[in-house]
Homo-oligomer: A and B are copies of this chain.
Amino acid sequence: MARNDERRSALADAGIRVLAEEGARGLTHRAVDAAASTPRGTASNYFPTRDDLVSALVDRIGERLTPDPEVVLSGGAQSPDRELFAAYLRDIVRRLSADPHVSLALFELRLESARRPAVAKALGAWRQRAFQEDVAFNDGSGLPGGRTEIALFHYAIDGLMLDHLTVPLDTGLSVDAAIDEFVDRILQ
């Protein structure tokens, strides 16, 4: 069972690489087997349909984007102010930047969700849950920013990451400086 879980994760990681490097149309069971160096048919065994494969990728992206428990825990000892919130955001963006395949794969799936209802369903449910959790986390921890502010940060950070991971505009702002500007302005 443990070995099966490992194989599942390895296949999903290979799928994330394929998505990031080839785009959504490149995501086939065969391409996943090739990227994972597994015998042909392995990916189909684990994820019989392409929708199953996409669902597994959404789950795995969620796992890989889960915050580092140490960062969350160390945050718990500090006062829940805008400085701490800015530190959280910088941590999120640092993780997204350190693992660009995950972010690029997620952007690919978001575009594919405009074309495929099954992708829309898997991805929409996951994103909505993550959004609700973010709102609840700020609420529960006393961090500044409610539902509206969290929504604005979601849009802002998405746009910033898309820029950062593709062809960045020369705006004179570093990524961290852009985050600080957003925190200063969105949290009034």
Contact = CB atoms under 8 A, between A and B. Distances in A.
Interface string A136-177: 000000000001101110111111101101110111110000
Interface stretch (A35-43, A65-73, A105-113): A105-113
A111 B104 contact: yes
B159 A111 contact: no
Contacts of A112: 23
A188 interface: yes
Interface stretch (A5-13, A46-54, A82-90, A124-132): A124-132
A152 B163 CA distance: 11
Secondary structure dominating the interface of A? helix
Interface residues of A, number: 51
A113 B172 contact: no
B156 A169 contact: no
Interface of A: 20-26, 100, 104, 107-108, 110-115, 120, 123-124, 127-128, 131, 147-148, 150-152, 154-160, 162-163, 165-167, 169-173, 178, 181-182, 185-186, 188
